[in-house]
Structure 1
């Protein structure tokens, strides 16, 4: 009999650790999730000082967690902020521009995970052109 079995029953012991093993990192109510949404979870890694993805948008919400380093994050309407290892972030997606997600540090890499919910059959990320950035500059929060 394997030592994971309970004596004389042949049953495996039951654990209650699962009841206290969860830590909620982030809880939000996104404004919408596209009908029939497709979900994708990625790990993104930027070298020291890398500016990250150019301004873009997602068709649905995105939820992230910084694993290593520090991200300079800026979402349309919110001031830019630094998200450090162990912290979470999210963005609503849709028509909202994601301006920055680059490495805030020039001496260590940035590594983060993000789960995106997007419209089926479409790209998870669409770059925003310079003309649109100019047209929407009044929606961008003041920068330091």
Structure 2
């Protein structure tokens, strides 16, 4: 089918409403690995879920909370709550991602993330208890 025949026009001569485009987040000079593999994930956290254990990613990631509230904590930053409609960024690499937990005890939280990682490496790399202890001085004070 040609492009001209693939469009459906109900009212020829009218202009449809234009899409609304909003920039939700922007990171200049993002540290993207060579030949990065882009992976998009959708994560659903049950009520009260602690999420994944402390980990890191081989490259940076952008995320968006679709529903609910997530407790988000990266090494060197205080934990914060990200609500539905808000975004998050993490640089990946050597930075530990301490938490991505559900802040709601009675409802699920859903978020998506696009991670730009090193080819051949897993999307999520667990951090050992020994390394957490060695780097505990890099963690922001907890509430």
Count of matched residue positions in the alignment of Structure 1 and Structure 2: 136
Alignment partner of 1:28: what SS?
A: coil
Counterpart-to-counterpart distance in 1, 2:9 and 2:34: 49
Structure 2 equivalent of residue 127 of structure 1: 126
Q: What are the superposed Cα offsets for residues 34-90 of structure 1, whole Å, 9 maximum, x if unpaired?
A: 000000111100100010000000000011000111100000010000001111001
- For structure 2, the residue ranges without an aligned partner over 5 or more in a row are 1-7
The answer to whether structure 1 residue 40 and structure 2 residue 30 are counterparts is: no
TM-score by length of 2: 0.88
Counterpart-to-counterpart distance in 2, 1:16 and 1:82: 35
- For structure 1, the residue ranges without an aligned partner over 5 or more in a row are 8-12
Q: What displacement does 1:105 show?
A: 1.1
TM-score by length of 1: 0.88
CA RMSD of aligned residues (A): 1.7
Q: Rg larger in 1 or in 2?
A: 1
Counterpart-to-counterpart distance in 1, 2:9 and 2:123: 48
Structure 1 equivalent of residue 142 of structure 2: 143
